[in-house]
Structure 1
Amino acid sequence: MTTTATAAALALGDDALVLSHRLGEWAGHAPVLEEEVALANIALDLLGQARVLYSLVGDEDELAYLREERAFRNLQLVEQPNGDFAHTIARQLYFSVYQRLLYEQLAAGESEFAPLAAKAVKEVAYHQDHAEQWTLRLGDGTAESHERMDRACRALWKFTGEIFQPLTGAEGAAGAVDTTSLEAAWLESVTSVLERATLTVPDGPRSGAWSAGAGRQGVHTESFGRMLAEMQHLHRSHPGASW
């Protein structure tokens, strides 16, 4: 695998791994039993994607458990704390729409990621539908659920600008991805959901609220370090251990 393809595989794998862990944190805390199962299944789908992507690069355990914080290339969006259930749903809506559009483009190309993307896009379509249905239920529900969902959408919006940046150093591997059309399609899809949910669509890319993070460059938010320490603790405490 070329250096550029490796960079893209790590970035996409990190997205999937980190969000998988965040969703796994809901185990035992989801609002209803059905959501325990749904969130766990989504987390497992993402974990499976991460494993395939890491396997293209090297040892998946080393990549997941032995890298330092600055070595991770995930979007800052996926590392954001779960917050209340509305925050989790807003994060999932923003990311799953992006991931579906990205994988659709990759599946239609001839890069190393085409086979994975062709399979994963079916999973991600379910992830998006799940997030959309909950956005509609919360946004067009009670006064409190509407307020919480609206607050969550606004709070996480600033992390979405990074979605539309090309994967640094991965132009050759992800050259089939048209970020301009991806951004337009993402905005159209997300705007449609928020409007149907009677939620206010946050200001777009020309607003200062649309800021781009630097997760792809290894710069992460404060909460990520704590999450990573928890995720890696067992493996680092017992190096070389096996079941």
Structure 2
Amino acid sequence: MNFGEILVWELLGTAALILLGAGVVANVVLKKSLGNNGGWLMITIAWGFAVFAGASIANPSGAHLNPAVTLGLIATGNSNFGWAEVPAYLIGQMLGAMIGATLAWLTYKLQFDTHDDPAGTRGIFCTGPTVPNYGWNLVTEIIGTFVLVFWILLSPAAAPGDGGVPTFGNSALGYAAVAFVVIGIGASLGGPTGYAINPARDLGPRIVYALLPIKGKGSPEWNYSWVPVVGPIIGGVLAGLLFQILPVG
């Protein structure tokens, strides 16, 4: 697959991921919405299936949707793509995240216009800590992303087994399995920081939030923005490095 094809499929898949992910947060947060006060579980379940939808769309490119996944795969030293393709993945993911966030805003434009707390809408687009401490917030993002990427690395495609019976392993449910992992991470590890576990998922919508004409909106909180970028990258690379030295595969 060439540079342009990778970029397009990653863009489409990530746009779907963020449209549905930011969309459910908007549905829960915005007052004049049918999902208002739907709660954390509604958000985590919908984010999981947003990953399922986005990954299914981006299947031709390998469905990374996440710079931490791309860099984690490269860190294994045994990926089916090289450094020359990495920029295509990263650019596609960032552009897709920005497009998806914009589409979510357009979907809920009237609810944004009538929301009684416009300064509190940043969380619809990007994450933030419940207890600000950048060092510990970084640790949270590293751990959550490590779980995601390491699971992906341990989930090879189905292969022929004894007697012609396929061996599926962790990948038995395909992209639906990834959705369940993301739901589990959100429900278990997402409380402290909102579980970005994806630099593009956080930074792209944060940039869009800063640019959108949302009357009375709050700060994009650029001082925190590096945490959900650096933490997931570290977590993803650590997963790739550990996978490289373990007797797996």
TM range (shorter): 0.3 to 0.5
**TM-score with structure 1 setting the length:** 0.35
**TM-score with structure 2 setting the length:** 0.34
